[in-house]
Chain A
Amino acid sequence: MDMNQYLDMFIEESKEHLQAINENLLALEQNPQSLDIVNVIFRSAHTLKGMAATMGFEQMAHLTHDMENGLDLMRNGKLAVTQEVMDVLFSCVDVLETQLHQIIETGTDAGVNVEALVAQLKAIASGKPVAAAVPSASVAPAAAAGEAESNDNLDLNEYESTILQQSKEKGFTGYKIVVRLEEKCVMRAARAYMVFDAYERVGEIIKSEPRVEDLEEEKFENEFMLVLVTQEDIEKVRKTGLNVSEVASVEVTEIDVHQAPAQPAAPTPAVAAHVEPIVQAVSQAAATASVAEAPKAAAHDARKPQLGKSVRVDIERLDVLINLFSELVIDRTRLEQIARELGNQSLYETVEHMSRISTDLQNIVMTIRMVPVETVFNRFPRMVRDLARDLNKKVNFVIRGQETELDRTVIDEIGDPLVHLLRNSLDHGLENPEARRQNGKDETGLVELVAFHSGNHVFIEITDDGNGINRAGVLKKAIEKGIVDPFAAENMTDQQVYDLLFHSGFSTAEKISDVSGRGVGLDVVKTKIESLGGRVLVQSQPGKGTKFSIQLPLTLSIIQAMLVQISDEKYAIPLSSIIETAIINKADVKRVHKQAVIDFRGRVVPLLSLEEIFSIPRPEPQGLEEENVVIVRKGDKMAALVVDAFIGQQEVVLKSLGKYLTGGVFAISGATILGDGQVALIMDCNALIQ
């Protein structure tokens, strides 16, 4: 069978599962007693094994199989969660990731050697069991039953059988239901959903085979199995299923709780605590079948996975949608202009209404492209953990605001700069444990990664409580490298000194380490962030710590801009770089080293003539006493741009100048189409300010 069509899906899902395993391993490291986490990891490893075997990636299946064995021992309390075990599991994930990469590139997983790891896994698995690791009252039957020889093809884990057990005590019955769909059924996923829906009205589904996600994605033939806990009798249960159209047959068998495999004599306290609310929720759901939305929701939360209400969309389709929408925004502006010119009341009102709707639509379209920063952040805990071990430092890594959303294009680009900054914080920021103790600090350093949303921007901050930036060290290095004049160095403000860190070719690490200190890094970070229309700032307190803040625009495709006119030409200046507009008197313009400057709120700001920079033709010279200027900034540098007139502020759709001109035009970042159909160029203020 040709598996290629499934390869993409396999890769996508494997990535998700590996990420899940990674996250859960980290959680398990923090909380070694948690059976729940082991179970989740086990399930992911199990799914991976199945998928890899189906796709014919035997090495991958081989490795996951042994991982699964180890995890099985863990969840049955036969293997303690030790550092050694965790390390082996982490390296398994790494190898699996390498294999996945290889599959993406070459289509085979044959090149990665897994035998060493498999041997390690086997050693762990055959090592003497540590029964005391999990306070489970009886692990023997559970282990005896095992995965492979499960009764009736129904392998319930401890958690599920505990639910069954407790439901039984409360007068509920567990049924194993095998639903068969008709051969000709086209929308199997939808039918499966309807069956689920029907059963959730009469009880609670505690298990399904294949898993809910697989059902949703139609990864089953014509048959699936569920375990339902309900008060209804067997006939009613059968009818409920048959009432859904295109269902061929429903086979219902009552589950004898005492015979259920993997049934511990007494549930562990942790599991019991979890189960209780579900059973209650079930009774309520059954009692008031139609109105019990709230308790059911609670039950849903407790029971993963649930039927999600999301769809996967190809990112290219979204890009097309955005492009089409951009056209609409241009026409909207045009329509508004025409309506104003014509002055027809009803036309005006219609256009007004359309504008409002399209503004709403715009918000929705833009949010569809938004992705939580979590997708970037979630790989950092693992990275920080490994780094800290390499550096022999102790770190408490805290992530906050990972739900903050950013445009996809920004998300794709932001990963590398953040890696640089985090490495920097760990390597240069945090001191080693001894030094921290001597300074009267906690041995474990704190590194925080925080994202939040403010106005039209998203801020990402990386804070460490290390030693701060060493002003003298930075200056010494800068003077050595010839970046700073020794005489000027004395008078530099702390902020100016810190900004030297972003100078290209600057690195303060005495020793070049693996982690950072190759002299490329912070300047690359700065360039990258600025190319995204953002800014990087650094703040530091000697002995207390350092904070890097990154400010990013929410989106790159539709921006707020100020339209200005110079002679006959119109230009758009992004609002994000404008500080304010002003009118200056020609008499106030001074000259410093042949450069015209003005005094703006106590600062000397260079005055740039756009007419000269862009060699804009002007039929007749103006002889005005006053000039309109736009004060723009790049970081904390400013410039005043002379323009003839301000046309106004408006939303513009950022377009490329076309491939032919891309990369070749000075101080122009793109173009936009105005309401009258004319093209206006968008100025890149970063290039104007040197």
Chain B
Amino acid sequence: MLEHKDIVEEIKVIVFRLVDEEYGVEVNQVRSIEHMQKITRVPRTPDFVKGVINLRGIVTPVIDLKSRFDLGEENYTDTTRIIIVAVDDMEVGLIVDAANDVIDIPVNKIEQPPAVVGGINKAYLRGVAKLSDRLLIMLNLDKVLSNEEIQAMSSMER
């Protein structure tokens, strides 16, 4: 159970699911959560880049987190959501299997990640939050959204 000895700093986190693991991104990095919609494919981009959507007049790129982390086949269902996140003015949609929870977690509950968690390289992780009844994998969005792969792709073309 949570101990109430000290007042600890808490962060608000959006919880989403990929296959059967739970992940978290800080709420202040999230712009909105959208239902699945028609995505326009963008040719000659890495497989995990699903394309672009019309997000209220702004063309927004969308990537599939499962294929980004090689977590298995994409199968879009009614619970599939696109989480729009913003990092350094860069808005990107992340396709996840479900997103339905917002929770507060105390900062001191976030631990350094082990080398590999659920098949995801440590570099993409900020840490693991161990809560009483669940384990949350916190993502390091800066790294996940680094567009090195995209740039590498384009230099190959030339």
Residues on A facing B (Cβ under 8 Å): 326-327, 330, 569, 613-616, 655-661, 663-668, 671, 673, 677-681
List, in ascending order, chain A residues with CB within 8 A of B63's CB: 660
Instruction: Report the bound CA distance from A659 to B146 in whole Å.
Output: 11
Asked if A616 contacts B43 (CB within 8 A), the reply is yes
Among the 9-residue stretches B24-32, B66-74, B89-97, B122-130, the one with 4 or more Cβ atoms under 8 Å from chain A is B89-97
Which A residues touch B147, using CB under 8 A? 660-661, 664
Q: Is B60 an interface residue (CB 8 A)?
A: yes
Given contact pairs A664-B153, A665-B154, A658 touches B44 in the complex (Cβ within 8 A): no
How far does the alpha carbon of A666 sit from the alpha carbon of B150 in the complex, in Å?
11
| A664-B151, A673-B54 known; A681+B40 contact, CB < 8 A | yes
One of B6-14, B45-53, B101-109, B113-121 contacting the partner: B45-53
**In the bound complex, do residue A679 and residue B59 qualify as a contact, i.e. CB atoms below 8 Å apart?**
yes
Please name 10 pairs of A and B residues whose Cβ atoms are closer than 8 Å in the assembled complex, sorted by A: A615-B44, A660-B61, A660-B147, A661-B45, A663-B150, A664-B147, A665-B45, A666-B44, A679-B51, A681-B52
- Are A663 and B154 interface neighbours, CB within 8 A? yes
**CB pair A671 B91 closer than 8 Å:** no
Residues of B within 8 A of A330 (CB): 57
Contact present for B57 and A668 (CB under 8 Å): no
| A111 to B54 alpha-carbon distance, docked (Å) | 52
B57 touches A658 (CB 8 A): no
**Contacting residues, chain A, for B145 (C-beta < 8 A):** 660
Task: From known contacts A658-B91, A660-B147, A673-B57, infer whether A668 and B40 are also in contact, taking CB-CB under 8 Å.
Answer: no
Q: Decide if A681 touches B42 in the complex (CB within 8 Å).
A: yes
B43 touches A660 (CB 8 A): no
Q: How many residues of B contact A (CB 8 A)?
A: 29
Contact A661 B49 (CB under 8 A): yes
Q: Does A678 lie within 8 Å of B89, measured CB to CB?
A: no
Q: State whether the Cβ of B5 lies closer than 8 Å to any Cβ in chain A.
A: no
CB pair A673 B45 closer than 8 Å: no
Interface members, chain B 71-85 (any A CB < 8 Å): none
Which of A614, A656, A666, A677 has a CB less than 8 Å from the CB of B54?
A: A677
Q: Are A658 and B157 in contact (CB under 8 A)?
A: no
Interface centre among A615, A663, A666, A668 (most CB of B within 10 A): A666
Would you call B134 an interface residue if the criterion is a C-beta within 8 Å of the partner chain's C-beta atoms? no
What is the bound-complex CA distance between A658 and B45, given in angstroms?
14
With A656-B59, A664-B45, A666-B154 in contact, do A678 and B90 touch (Cβ < 8 Å)? no
Q: A655-B59, A658-B59, A660-B147 are in contact. Are A679 and B43 (CB under 8 A)?
A: no
Chain A residues closer than 8 Å to B151, beta-carbon distance: 663-664
Q: Which residues of B contact A668 (CB under 8 A)?
A: 42-43
Which B-chain residue is minimally distant from A653 (CB atoms)? B57
Q: What A residues does B89 contact at CB under 8 A?
A: 659
* Complex CA distance for A665 and B150, rounded to whole angstroms: 8
Decide if B41 is an interface residue (CB 8 Å cutoff).
yes
Q: Which of A326, A327, A614, A655 contacts B43 (CB 8 A)?
A: A614
**What chain A residues lie within 8 Å of B154 (beta carbons)?**
663-666
Residues of B within 8 A of A673 (CB): 54, 57, 59
Question: In this complex, what residue of A is CB-closest to B42?
Answer: A665
Cβ–Cβ < 8 Å partners of A678 in chain B: 38, 40, 54
Task: Note all chain A residues with C-beta closer than 8 A to B153.
Answer: 664
Given contacts A658-B59, A668-B42, 8 further A-B contacts (CB under 8 A): A569-B41, A615-B43, A656-B59, A657-B59, A661-B49, A665-B43, A667-B44, A679-B52
A458, chain B: closest CB distance, angstroms: 28
Cα-based distance from A615 to B53 in the complex (angstroms) = 19
CB distance from A77 to the nearest CB of B (A): 61
Q: Chain B residues near A664 (CB, 8 Å)? A: 45, 147, 150-151, 153-154
Which applies to chain A's interface (DSSP): helix, strand, loop or mixed?
loop
Set of chain B residues within 8 Å of A659, measured between Cβ atoms: 89-91
A684 to B43, CA, bound (A): 13
B53 to chain A, nearest CB (A): 7
User: 9 nearest interchain CB pairs?
Assistant: A664-B150, A614-B43, A679-B40, A659-B90, A664-B154, A658-B61, A660-B61, A671-B59, A666-B157
Determine the residue in chain B with the shortest Cβ distance to A569. Answer: B41
Q: Which residues of chain A are within 8 angstroms of B45 by Cβ–Cβ distance?
A: 661, 664-665
Instruction: Chain B residues near A656: list those with CB within 8 A.
Output: 59
Instruction: Check B150–A660 contact: CB distance below 8 A.
Output: yes
Nearest-neighbour CB distance to chain A for B48, whole angstroms, equals 12
Q: What residues of A have a CB within 8 angstroms of the CB of B61 in the complex? A: 657-658, 660-661
User: Could you tell me the distance between the alpha carbons of A680 and B38 in the complex, rounded to whole angstroms?
Assistant: 12
**Min C-beta distance of B7 to chain A, whole Å:** 38
For A667, the chain B residues whose CB sits under 8 A away are 43-44
Query: Nearest chain B CB to A420's CB is how many angstroms away?
Result: 24
Most chain B CB within 10 A, of A330, A614, A616, A660, is at A660
Question: In the complex, what distance in Å separates the CA atom of A673 from the CA atom of B58?
Answer: 9
A229 shortest CB reach to chain B, Å: 57
Known: A655-B59, A673-B57, A679-B53. A661 touches B40 (CB 8 A): no
CB neighbours (8 Å) of B92 from chain A are 658, 660
Residues in chain B near residue A681, CB distance under 8 A: 40, 42-43, 52
State A76–B142 Cα separation when bound (angstroms). Answer: 68
Q: Across the two chains, which residue of chain A brings its CB closest to B92?
A: A660
Q: Kindly report which residue of chain A lies nearest to residue B152, judged by CB atoms.
A: A664
Bound form: Cα–Cα A643–B63 in Å: 28
* Closest A residue, CB atoms, query B38: A678
Minimal beta-carbon separation of A678 from chain B (angstroms) = 6
**Cα–Cα, bound, A466→B153 (Å):** 46
CA distance A664 to B57 in the complex (A): 22
Complex CA gap A37/B156 in Å reads 59
Cα-based distance from A679 to B52 in the complex (angstroms)? 7
Nearest Cβ distance between residue B153 and chain A, in whole angstroms? 6
Would A657 and B43 count as touching, CB distance under 8 A?
Answer: no
Closest Cβ of chain B to A88, distance in Å, is 49
How far is A212 from B153 in the complex, measured between Cα atoms in Å?
58
What residues on B are CB-neighbors of A679 within 8 Å?
Answer: 40, 51-54, 59
Q: How far is the CB of A557 from chain B (nearest CB, A)?
A: 14
From A664, which residue of chain B is reached at the shortest CB distance? B150
Please measure, in the bound complex, the distance between the C-alpha atom of A441 and the C-alpha atom of B17, giving whole angstroms.
81
Assembled-state Cα–Cα distance A655/B58 (Å)? 8
- Asked if residues B57 and A671 are in contact (CB atoms below 8 Å), the reply is no
Determine how close the nearest CB of chain B comes to the CB of A676; give it in whole angstroms. 10
Task: Out of A665, A666, A680, name the residue touching B40 (CB < 8 Å).
Answer: A680
Q: Which residue of B38, B44, B58 contacts A665 across the interface (Cβ within 8 Å)?
A: B44
Which B residues are in CB contact (< 8 Å) with A671? 40, 52, 59
Least CB separation from A326: chain B residue:
B57
In the docked arrangement, what's the CA distance between A668 and B59, Å? 14
- List, in ascending order, chain A residues with CB within 8 A of B150's CB: 660-661, 663-664
Of the candidates A327, A658, A680, the one having the most CB atoms from chain B within 10 angstroms of its own CB is A658
Measured CA separation A671–B45 after assembly (Å): 15
Residues on the B chain within 8 Å of A666, using CB: 43-44, 154, 157
> How many whole Å from A390's CB to the nearest CB in chain B?
38
Expressed in whole angstroms, the Cα–Cα distance for A413 and B57 within the complex equals: 27
Give, as a whole number of angstroms, the nearest-CB distance from A566 to chain B.
Answer: 10
The answer for the CA separation of A330 and B57 in the assembled complex, in Å, is 8
- Give CA–CA (A446, B49) in the complex, Å: 55
